[in-house]
Amino acid sequence: MGEGGNFCKCGTAEMTLLGNKRREVKSRKGYIAFVSFLVISAVIFVIGITLALLGVSEAQMGFAEEKGGYAYALAEGCAEDALLSIFYNGSYGGGTKTFPEGTCTISTSKTGGTWTVIAEATSSGHTRKIQVKMVREKDIKVTDWKEIE
């Protein structure tokens, strides 16, 4: 065709060169898409691993809190048991008790009519301590009840 036509007045070598450039441009587009896919995949992978590790950490903390709660409940029960023992026996000196939930060590001290009871309980490797101050007369009056380190 003429100058206004759609056909190129190119030789075979020129057409081959144009074809190679088109393939090269398509190849670059594929390369860019592949690298973009790899980067996005890596970012998603890192986010996924981070979320999984956070989930495991939260589960472990929840488990530790639950086991610490068991130890606290055991310490409270042992402190209450010690108060009852002091009520019935004015010379109660404490001791160690073993339960299915764990072990409990009770120590007592007496200054005048005021008693101090420390109940230390261990359950599943978690230890909690309760300190109770009380006065023993005809009945028992608790003046202080707190968890200590």
Say which residues have a Cβ less than 8 Å from residue 90's Cβ, sequence separation at least 6.
136
Taking the C-alpha atoms of residue 129 and residue 105, their distance in angstroms, rounded to an integer, is 9
Residue 133: closest CA among 90, 73, 82? 82
Write out pLDDT tens, residues 107-145.
999 988 899 999 999 988 889 999 999 998 888 899 999
Annotated domain spans of the chain: 9-149
The residue behind tokens 């472990």 is 60
Q: Give the model's pLDDT for residue 2.
A: 46
Taking the C-alpha atoms of residue 89 and residue 73, their distance in angstroms, rounded to an integer, is 24
Backbone φ, ψ for residue 126 (5° rounding): -105, 135
Q: What percent of the chain has pLDDT over 90?
A: 47
